Protein backbone atom coordinates (compact mmCIF):
# COMPACT_ATOMS: atom_id res chain seq x y z
CA UNK A 1 0.00 0.00 0.00
CA UNK A 2 1.45 3.26 -1.15
CA UNK A 3 0.02 5.22 1.71
CA UNK A 4 1.57 3.05 4.37
CA UNK A 5 4.94 3.29 2.69
CA UNK A 6 4.74 7.06 2.56
CA UNK A 7 3.80 7.14 6.22
CA UNK A 8 6.70 4.89 7.10
CA UNK A 9 9.10 7.00 5.06
CA UNK A 10 7.86 10.17 6.72
CA UNK A 11 8.32 8.62 10.14
CA UNK A 12 11.82 7.43 9.28
CA UNK A 13 12.72 10.83 7.92
CA UNK A 14 11.37 12.43 11.06
CA UNK A 15 13.41 10.22 13.33
CA UNK A 16 16.49 10.76 11.19
CA UNK A 17 15.96 14.50 11.31
CA UNK A 18 15.71 14.44 15.09
CA UNK A 19 18.90 12.42 15.40
CA UNK A 20 20.76 14.68 12.99
CA UNK A 21 19.56 17.70 14.87
CA UNK A 22 20.61 16.27 18.21
CA UNK A 23 24.07 15.48 16.96
CA UNK A 24 23.62 11.92 15.71
CA UNK A 25 24.61 9.21 18.13
CA UNK A 26 25.77 10.26 21.55
CA UNK A 27 24.13 13.23 23.18
CA UNK A 28 26.51 15.51 25.01
CA UNK A 29 25.10 16.04 28.48
CA UNK A 30 27.67 18.71 29.23
CA UNK A 31 26.51 20.99 26.42
CA UNK A 32 22.85 21.73 26.85
CA UNK A 33 22.05 25.37 26.66
CA UNK A 34 18.66 26.89 27.36
CA UNK A 35 16.16 26.78 24.47
CA UNK A 36 15.56 30.48 24.97
CA UNK A 37 19.24 31.29 24.47
CA UNK A 38 20.68 32.84 21.29
CA UNK A 39 17.28 33.25 19.62
CA UNK A 40 17.33 35.44 16.54
CA UNK A 41 21.10 35.40 16.14
CA UNK A 42 21.74 37.39 19.32
CA UNK A 43 24.83 36.46 21.35
CA UNK A 44 23.49 35.46 24.70
CA UNK A 45 24.60 34.68 28.22
CA UNK A 46 22.56 32.77 30.81
CA UNK A 47 23.13 33.75 34.42
CA UNK A 48 21.80 31.92 37.46
CA UNK A 49 20.13 34.01 40.13
CA UNK A 50 19.84 32.72 43.66
CA UNK A 51 16.86 33.50 45.81
CA UNK A 52 18.43 36.26 47.90
CA UNK A 53 18.40 39.83 46.76
CA UNK A 54 22.19 40.30 46.91
CA UNK A 55 22.54 37.68 44.22
CA UNK A 56 19.87 39.47 42.18
CA UNK A 57 21.87 42.69 42.38
CA UNK A 58 25.03 41.08 41.04
CA UNK A 59 23.08 39.63 38.18
CA UNK A 60 21.14 42.82 37.48
CA UNK A 61 24.27 44.93 37.15
CA UNK A 62 26.11 42.28 35.13
CA UNK A 63 23.07 41.92 32.90
CA UNK A 64 22.74 45.65 32.34
CA UNK A 65 26.38 46.06 31.40
CA UNK A 66 26.40 42.96 29.18
CA UNK A 67 23.34 44.19 27.35
CA UNK A 68 24.09 47.88 27.09
CA UNK A 69 27.87 48.03 26.92
CA UNK A 70 28.79 44.71 25.28
CA UNK A 71 25.72 43.96 23.14
CA UNK A 72 24.73 40.58 24.61
CA UNK A 73 21.26 39.24 25.33
CA UNK A 74 21.04 37.98 28.89
CA UNK A 75 18.72 35.29 30.18
CA UNK A 76 18.38 34.75 33.90
CA UNK A 77 17.12 31.67 35.70
CA UNK A 78 16.39 31.38 39.38
CA UNK A 79 17.76 28.15 40.86
CA UNK A 80 18.81 27.05 44.33
CA UNK A 81 22.53 26.84 45.00
CA UNK A 82 23.20 23.15 44.58
CA UNK A 83 20.99 22.66 41.52
CA UNK A 84 22.71 25.75 40.11
CA UNK A 85 26.09 24.01 40.29
CA UNK A 86 24.55 21.12 38.45
CA UNK A 87 23.14 23.40 35.77
CA UNK A 88 26.47 25.18 35.48
CA UNK A 89 28.27 21.90 34.79
CA UNK A 90 25.85 21.11 31.95
CA UNK A 91 26.09 24.50 30.35
CA UNK A 92 22.47 25.35 31.07
CA UNK A 93 23.75 28.41 32.83
CA UNK A 94 27.04 30.10 32.07
CA UNK A 95 27.93 31.63 35.43
CA UNK A 96 27.20 31.79 39.16
CA UNK A 97 28.20 35.17 40.50
CA UNK A 98 27.86 34.61 44.23
CA UNK A 99 28.80 31.30 45.80
CA UNK A 100 28.91 30.85 49.57
CA UNK A 101 31.19 27.83 49.57
CA UNK A 102 30.23 24.32 48.47
CA UNK A 103 33.31 22.14 49.00
CA UNK A 104 31.65 18.94 47.81
CA UNK A 105 30.56 20.48 44.50
CA UNK A 106 33.96 22.14 44.02
CA UNK A 107 35.64 18.78 44.42
CA UNK A 108 33.32 17.07 41.95
CA UNK A 109 32.94 19.64 39.21
CA UNK A 110 36.04 21.84 39.45
CA UNK A 111 38.77 19.42 40.51
CA UNK A 112 37.55 16.04 39.22
CA UNK A 113 35.47 16.72 36.14
CA UNK A 114 36.87 20.11 35.17
CA UNK A 115 33.49 21.22 33.85
CA UNK A 116 33.49 24.37 35.97
CA UNK A 117 36.28 26.88 36.55
CA UNK A 118 36.64 29.46 39.33
CA UNK A 119 35.85 32.97 38.16
CA UNK A 120 37.60 34.83 40.96
CA UNK A 121 36.27 36.67 44.00
CA UNK A 122 33.15 38.83 43.95
CA UNK A 123 34.73 41.30 46.35
CA UNK A 124 31.99 40.88 48.91
CA UNK A 125 32.50 38.99 52.13
CA UNK A 126 29.63 36.97 53.47
CA UNK A 127 28.89 36.23 57.07
CA UNK A 128 26.16 34.12 58.67
CA UNK A 129 25.11 34.52 62.27
CA UNK A 130 22.31 34.99 64.77
CA UNK A 131 20.84 38.44 65.06
CA UNK A 132 18.42 40.39 67.24
CA UNK A 133 16.81 43.73 66.35
CA UNK A 134 18.69 46.81 67.48
CA UNK A 135 15.67 48.22 69.36
CA UNK A 136 15.74 45.12 71.54
CA UNK A 137 19.52 44.90 71.97
CA UNK A 138 19.66 48.55 73.09
CA UNK A 139 17.36 47.78 76.00
CA UNK A 140 18.87 44.39 76.83
CA UNK A 141 22.57 44.53 75.89
CA UNK A 142 23.40 41.22 77.58
CA UNK A 143 21.32 39.31 74.98
CA UNK A 144 24.28 39.79 72.64
CA UNK A 145 26.21 36.95 74.28
CA UNK A 146 25.00 33.41 73.61
CA UNK A 147 25.54 32.51 77.27
CA UNK A 148 22.62 34.73 78.22
CA UNK A 149 20.27 33.48 75.52
CA UNK A 150 18.49 31.00 77.78
CA UNK A 151 17.49 33.88 80.05
CA UNK A 152 15.56 35.35 77.10
CA UNK A 153 13.98 32.15 75.84
CA UNK A 154 10.59 33.16 77.25
CA UNK A 155 10.82 36.55 75.55
CA UNK A 156 11.39 34.98 72.15
CA UNK A 157 8.53 32.49 72.52
CA UNK A 158 5.89 32.29 69.76
CA UNK A 159 2.91 30.08 68.97
CA UNK A 160 5.15 27.89 66.80
CA UNK A 161 8.02 27.37 69.24
CA UNK A 162 6.22 25.07 71.66
CA UNK A 163 7.07 26.76 74.97
CA UNK A 164 10.72 27.34 74.06
CA UNK A 165 12.30 30.43 72.55
CA UNK A 166 11.98 30.76 68.79
CA UNK A 167 15.06 30.84 66.58
CA UNK A 168 13.80 31.86 63.15
CA UNK A 169 15.64 30.03 60.38
CA UNK A 170 15.50 30.55 56.67
CA UNK A 171 15.22 28.73 53.40
CA UNK A 172 16.11 25.03 53.23
CA UNK A 173 18.76 25.87 50.65
CA UNK A 174 20.89 27.89 53.07
CA UNK A 175 23.93 26.58 54.87
CA UNK A 176 23.03 26.11 58.53
CA UNK A 177 24.41 24.39 61.64
CA UNK A 178 21.68 25.74 63.86
CA UNK A 179 20.25 22.40 64.94
CA UNK A 180 23.68 21.28 66.16
CA UNK A 181 24.37 24.65 67.77
CA UNK A 182 21.13 24.69 69.75
CA UNK A 183 21.80 21.15 70.95
CA UNK A 184 25.50 21.47 71.69
CA UNK A 185 25.23 24.86 73.41
CA UNK A 186 22.27 23.52 75.44
CA UNK A 187 19.96 26.33 74.44
CA UNK A 188 16.29 26.23 75.32
CA UNK A 189 15.27 27.15 71.78
CA UNK A 190 13.14 25.69 69.04
CA UNK A 191 14.21 26.30 65.43
CA UNK A 192 11.33 27.39 63.25
CA UNK A 193 12.20 27.06 59.56
CA UNK A 194 10.42 29.73 57.58
CA UNK A 195 10.96 27.69 54.42
CA UNK A 196 11.88 30.57 52.15
CA UNK A 197 13.75 33.84 52.41
CA UNK A 198 10.65 35.75 51.37
CA UNK A 199 8.67 34.31 54.28
CA UNK A 200 11.52 35.07 56.68
CA UNK A 201 11.85 38.69 55.54
CA UNK A 202 8.10 39.18 55.75
CA UNK A 203 8.08 37.80 59.28
CA UNK A 204 11.05 39.94 60.36
CA UNK A 205 9.41 43.07 58.98
CA UNK A 206 6.18 42.14 60.73
CA UNK A 207 8.04 41.75 64.05
CA UNK A 208 9.84 45.05 63.52
CA UNK A 209 6.59 46.90 62.83
CA UNK A 210 5.35 46.03 66.29
CA UNK A 211 8.84 46.47 67.86
CA UNK A 212 8.61 42.85 69.03
CA UNK A 213 11.67 40.91 70.17
CA UNK A 214 12.99 38.14 67.91
CA UNK A 215 16.08 36.02 67.30
CA UNK A 216 16.89 35.03 63.74
CA UNK A 217 19.43 33.28 61.56
CA UNK A 218 20.54 35.95 59.11
CA UNK A 219 23.49 36.98 57.03
CA UNK A 220 25.28 39.92 55.57
CA UNK A 221 25.54 41.59 53.16
CA UNK A 222 21.79 42.09 53.25
CA UNK A 223 19.70 45.11 52.34
CA UNK A 224 17.17 44.38 55.11
CA UNK A 225 19.65 45.79 57.67
CA UNK A 226 18.93 49.24 56.25
CA UNK A 227 15.25 48.85 57.14
CA UNK A 228 15.47 46.72 60.25
CA UNK A 229 18.77 47.41 62.01
CA UNK A 230 19.98 44.25 63.72
CA UNK A 231 22.88 43.37 65.99
CA UNK A 232 24.72 40.07 65.93
CA UNK A 233 24.66 37.73 68.92
CA UNK A 234 28.14 36.46 69.78
CA UNK A 235 28.48 32.69 69.42
CA UNK A 236 31.54 30.70 70.59
CA UNK A 237 34.53 31.81 68.48
CA UNK A 238 34.98 30.21 65.06
CA UNK A 239 38.10 28.05 64.80
CA UNK A 240 39.45 25.93 61.94
CA UNK A 241 39.56 22.99 64.29
CA UNK A 242 35.84 23.22 65.01
CA UNK A 243 35.15 23.68 61.31
CA UNK A 244 37.15 20.60 60.35
CA UNK A 245 35.34 18.51 62.90
CA UNK A 246 32.09 19.93 61.61
CA UNK A 247 32.89 18.79 58.07
CA UNK A 248 33.37 15.27 59.39
CA UNK A 249 30.39 15.23 61.71
CA UNK A 250 27.92 18.08 61.18
CA UNK A 251 26.24 17.31 64.48
CA UNK A 252 29.33 18.24 66.46
CA UNK A 253 29.46 21.92 65.47
CA UNK A 254 29.58 24.22 68.50
CA UNK A 255 31.14 27.43 67.19
CA UNK A 256 30.16 30.45 65.11
CA UNK A 257 29.90 30.54 61.33
CA UNK A 258 32.96 31.48 59.27
CA UNK A 259 33.37 34.65 57.28
CA UNK A 260 33.42 33.72 53.59
CA UNK A 261 34.82 35.73 50.70
CA UNK A 262 32.15 35.07 48.04
CA UNK A 263 33.27 33.48 44.79
CA UNK A 264 32.26 33.45 41.14
CA UNK A 265 32.21 30.28 39.02
CA UNK A 266 31.98 29.87 35.25
CA UNK A 267 31.17 26.97 32.98
CA UNK A 268 34.51 25.75 31.63
CA UNK A 269 33.55 26.03 27.95
CA UNK A 270 32.02 29.43 28.47
CA UNK A 271 35.15 30.62 30.28
CA UNK A 272 37.22 29.68 27.24
CA UNK A 273 34.91 30.62 24.41
CA UNK A 274 32.67 33.22 26.04
CA UNK A 275 34.66 36.08 24.51
CA UNK A 276 34.04 39.49 26.00
CA UNK A 277 31.23 38.22 28.21
CA UNK A 278 33.42 35.78 30.09
CA UNK A 279 36.30 38.25 30.30
CA UNK A 280 33.90 40.80 31.79
CA UNK A 281 32.38 38.38 34.29
CA UNK A 282 35.85 37.35 35.48
CA UNK A 283 36.71 41.00 36.17
CA UNK A 284 33.39 41.81 37.88
CA UNK A 285 34.41 42.81 41.43
CA UNK A 286 32.62 45.20 43.77
CA UNK A 287 31.96 46.01 47.41
CA UNK A 288 29.34 45.23 50.01
CA UNK A 289 28.19 48.88 50.00
CA UNK A 290 27.66 48.87 46.23
CA UNK A 291 25.78 45.60 46.36
CA UNK A 292 23.52 46.79 49.18
CA UNK A 293 22.85 50.02 47.33
CA UNK A 294 21.40 48.08 44.38
CA UNK A 295 19.69 45.50 46.60
CA UNK A 296 17.77 48.07 48.52
CA UNK A 297 16.58 49.81 45.36
CA UNK A 298 15.19 46.47 44.21
CA UNK A 299 13.76 45.07 47.38
CA UNK A 300 12.43 47.98 49.32
CA UNK A 301 12.06 50.84 46.84
CA UNK A 302 10.14 48.48 44.54
CA UNK A 303 12.35 49.24 41.55
CA UNK A 304 12.77 46.62 38.85
CA UNK A 305 16.17 44.98 38.93
CA UNK A 306 16.98 46.56 35.57
CA UNK A 307 16.08 50.09 36.68
CA UNK A 308 18.06 49.69 39.87
CA UNK A 309 21.08 48.45 37.93
CA UNK A 310 20.76 51.34 35.48
CA UNK A 311 20.68 53.84 38.31
CA UNK A 312 23.76 52.35 39.93
CA UNK A 313 25.65 52.06 36.64
CA UNK A 314 24.98 55.70 35.80
CA UNK A 315 26.16 56.82 39.22
CA UNK A 316 29.37 54.77 39.36
CA UNK A 317 31.13 54.71 35.96
CA UNK A 318 34.50 54.75 37.71
CA UNK A 319 33.80 51.35 39.26
CA UNK A 320 32.51 49.40 36.27
CA UNK A 321 34.76 50.93 33.61
CA UNK A 322 37.53 48.79 35.11
CA UNK A 323 35.56 45.61 34.41
CA UNK A 324 35.34 46.21 30.68
CA UNK A 325 37.39 43.76 28.58
Single out the residue of 282, 283, 307, 308 nearest to residue 295, CA to CA. Answer: 308
Nearer to other proteins, 144 or 303 (CB): 303
Q: What is the DSSP string of 197-242?
A: HHHHHHHHHHHHHTT---EEEEEES-THHHHS-EEEEBPSPP-HHH
Is residue 173 within 8 A of residue 82, CB to CB? The reply is: yes
Q: Cα–Cα distance between 267 and 91 in angstroms, integer? A: 6
Which of 142/160 has CB closer to other proteins?
160
3-state secondary structure of 69: coil
Collapsing DSSP states into helix, strand and coil, what is residue 161? coil
Q: How far is the CB of 44 from other proteins (least distance, A)?
A: 12
Angle between helices 288-299 and 305-315 (to 10 degrees): 140
CB of residue 281 to other proteins, shortest distance in Å: 19
Q: Which is nearer to other proteins, 171 or 278 (CB)?
A: 171
Report which of 26, 34, 29, 175 is spatially closest to residue 113, judged by C-alpha positions: 29
**CB–CB of 36/76 below 8 Å?**
no
Nearer to other proteins, 75 or 323 (CB): 75
- Which DSSP letter does residue 156 get? T
Choice between 218 and 323, CB closer to other proteins: 218
Compare residues 98 and 323 and give the one whose CB is closer to other proteins: 98
Q: Are strands 259-267 and 95-99 parallel, antiparallel or unpaired?
A: antiparallel
Of 97, 86, 90, which is closest to residue 63 (Cα–Cα)? 97
Least distance to other proteins, CB of residue 239, Å: 25
Least distance from other proteins to the Cβ atom of residue 315, Å: 21
Interface with other proteins (CB under 8 A): 18-19, 21-23, 25-30, 32-36, 39-40, 48-49, 51-53, 56, 75-84, 86-87, 90, 92-93, 108, 113, 115, 158-160, 162, 168, 171-173, 192-203, 206, 209-210, 298-299, 302, 304
Tell me how far, at minimum, the Cβ of 75 lies from other proteins, in Å: 7
C-alpha–C-alpha distance, residues 303 and 293, integer Å: 12
- State which residue, 30 or 273, has the beta carbon closest to other proteins: 30
In three-state secondary structure terms, 36 is: coil
Residue nearer to other proteins on the CB measure, 2 or 159? 159
Minimum Å gap between C-beta 23 and other proteins is 7
The phi-psi region of residue 165 (left if phi > 0; otherwise alpha if psi is between -120 and 50; otherwise beta) is beta
Amino acid sequence: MARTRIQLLTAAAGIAAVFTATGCGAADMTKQSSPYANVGGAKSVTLSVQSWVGAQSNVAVAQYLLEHELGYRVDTVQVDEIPAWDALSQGRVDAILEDWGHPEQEQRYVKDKKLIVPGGGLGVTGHIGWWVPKYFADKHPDVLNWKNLNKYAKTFKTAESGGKGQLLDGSPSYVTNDKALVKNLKLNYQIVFSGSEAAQITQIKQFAKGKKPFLTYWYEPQWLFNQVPMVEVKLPKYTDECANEGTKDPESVDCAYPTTPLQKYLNADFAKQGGKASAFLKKFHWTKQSQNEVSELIASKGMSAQDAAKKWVEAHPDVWKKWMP
